[in-house]
Amino acid sequence: MFTELLLVLVIGGLIFFLVQRSRTQVLKTEDGWWGAGAPSDGGEDDTIRPFKVTTNEEELEDLYRRIDHTRPVASLEDSQFNYGFNSQYLQKVVSYWRNDFDWRRQVDKLNQYPHFKTNIEGIDVHYVHVKPRKVPEGTSAIPLLMVHGWPGSFYEFYGLIPLLTEPSDPNELVFEVVCPSIPGYGFSEAPHKKGFDSVCAARVFHKLMKRLGFQQFYAHGGDWGWLVTTNMAQLEPKIVKGLHVNFAPPSKPGLPMALSLMLGRRFPKLFSFTDIDIQRLYPCMDKLVVESIKESGYMHIQATKPDTVGRGLNDSPVGLAAYILEKFSTWTSQDFRNLEDGGLTRKFSLDDLLTNVMIYWTSGCIISSMRFYKENFGKGLNQPHSKIPVYVPTGFACFPNELMHTPKLWVKEKYRKLMTYTPMASGGHFAAMEEPQLMAEDIQNFTKIVEKKKKKQ
């Protein structure tokens, strides 16, 4: 009698577990209001206004005056980038910025694509919207939303956009691309109220895409863009056709992850760990702890008191450049910390790097960009979105120098319909900017697989 009861319980439990696992859980959210003061009763202004990046003499004179008054402090001998941005090299960057960098030319470059603003939940949301010039007969362009992170901007996608909207190979899919600025970043207005987190950004971007008339679309993201697009897939799994990410730190360390970490080195096959997985997951434990303390100070500051240090950065272009570009060095390759010039120009041009800095400088957005950490971490790590899996077809591009390596098993734990997982030959955290060709190829490959499957159904 007892064994029968036990059997029933076990089978029942198993069925319950399987049903639970296969049920699509949808993330819930409620409309917000982020404008100053109380919501206006006149209803939402849903007009879409063309926007152009502009500059003027006064802005440039103010910038040069501040640069000219910087107070250099010599870096320690032999310290390279290990104490932060190297001061001697910073002087070189700043001298280029002051004397050779042509912001007016870069503004024209930014304006080569159409920009717009529209008001959502009380704040102006900025985005770049690029339609392909021509689409093969009998087909239509595939809408794709691409979301940046910190300390980046929509500009990170400028090398990738033409590869997707004007592919050279006629067999490639043609995309129509929308790159918004997260509210509080670049030319999007900063929320005036507390609490604007990744789920709010996801909801706002859904409203944006709806306003633009897209019934369904694909989404791509790295850094915070990964979380915002992931939340979008969780909010509206029927509207997001496919999700492509190049960053996916585990949001909720579960049993499979713990087991795989404990046993994966001895039994790699059991967890489908590759040689790359083993190499990247098992530095000795001290190294792991020391490295994460070394590199996470900025996160602690931004998740607690962004407004204090942010004021200094918002007053000093040199301080701002050091703060932002240190990340473009170390997050591209940790080995760059041992180079006098932080390896910055091995992967990027100073023009591109300073253009990104200028987007933060001219819009004065560094404090509001840092607050996004506080809003996301401030609610604790046990958020509904970190507990709910993603049921939208997903593609993962695994770049070798990404900050945190995530084996396929871990990605699959969160993204239940993982269609592609591509180990890349080169690239780091700012992969869309560093390796636009590889990223475009992977987005193409992934989207083709999802489209083919959809057609079959």
Beta bridge partners of 115: 51, 128
Reply yes or no on whether 429 is catalytic: yes
Comparing C-alpha atoms, which of 119, 299, 117, 115 is closest to residue 192? 119
445 binds ligand NAG (CB under 6 A): yes
- Yes or no: say if 127 and 208 are a contact pair by the CB < 8 Å rule: yes
Residue 126's nearest CA partner among 39, 232, 50 is 50
Does the protein bind ligand NAG through residue 451 (CB under 6 A)?
Answer: no
- In whole angstroms, the minimum distance from the beta carbon of 121 to ligand NAG comes to 37
99 to 89, 344, 352, 446: CA distances (angstroms) = 15, 19, 16, 44
| Tokens at 150, concatenated | 């910190």
Give the Cβ contact number of residue 301 at 10 Å. 16
- 405-420 as b/e: b if 16+ CB within 10 A: bbbbbbbbbbbebbbb
Nearer residue to ligand NAG within complex by CB, 29 or 445? 445
Residues in region 210-229 near ligand NAG by CB under 6 A:
none
The minimum distance between CB 135 and ligand NAG, in angstroms, equals: 21
Comparison of 91 and 422: residue with beta carbon closer to ligand NAG: 422
Choose the catalytic residue: 148, 218, 220, 223.
223
Structure tokens at 90: 């910073």
Exposure string of 231-247, with b = 16+ CB inside 10 Å and e = fewer, is bbbbbbbebbbbbbbbb
Nearest distance, CB of residue 437 and ligand NAG, angstroms: 8
For ligand NAG, give the closer residue by CB, 111 or 422.
Answer: 422
Q: Does 386 bind ligand NAG (CB under 6 A)?
A: no
Cis peptide upstream of residue 151 (ω within 30 degrees of 0): yes
Neighbours of 428 (CB within 10 A): 24
**Is 354:321 a contact under the CB 8 Å cutoff?**
yes
In whole angstroms, give the CA distance from residue 103 to residue 358.
8
Asked if 177 and 150 touch (Cβ cutoff 8 Å), the reply is no
**CB-based contact 113:128 (threshold 8 Å):** yes
The closest of 197, 38, 186 to 125, measured between CA atoms, is 186
Give the DSSP H or E segment for 399: none
Number of residues that bind ligand NAG (CB under 6 A): 5
Residue among 115 and 220 whose Cβ is closer to ligand NAG: 220
Is-catalytic flag, 158? no
Q: How far is the CB of 424 from ligand NAG (least distance, A)?
A: 7
Segment 405 to 444, residues that bind ligand NAG, using CB under 6 A: 422, 438, 441-442
Give the integer Cα–Cα distance in Å for 130 and 134.
12
* Spatial CA neighbour of 415 closest among 423, 404, 424, 407: 407
373 flagged as catalytic? yes
CB of 109 vs ligand NAG, minimal distance in Å: 27
Task: Give the shortest CB-451-to-ligand NAG separation in angstroms.
Answer: 14
With contact defined as beta carbons under 8 Å apart, do 154 and 148 qualify? yes
Instruction: Write down the catalytic residue from 113, 373, 415, 421.
Output: 373
Least gap, CB of 439 to ligand NAG (angstroms): 8
- For residue 322, the Cα-to-chain-centroid distance in whole angstroms is 20
Q: Which is nearer to ligand NAG, 118 or 447 (CB)?
A: 447
CB 410, min distance to ligand NAG, A: 20
Shortest reach from residue 141's CB to ligand NAG, in Å = 20
What are the C-alpha distances in Å from 140 to residues 130, 157, 174, 402, 444?
14, 22, 8, 34, 15
Catalytic positions: 223, 373, 429
**Contact positions vs ligand NAG (CB under 6 A):** 422, 438, 441-442, 445
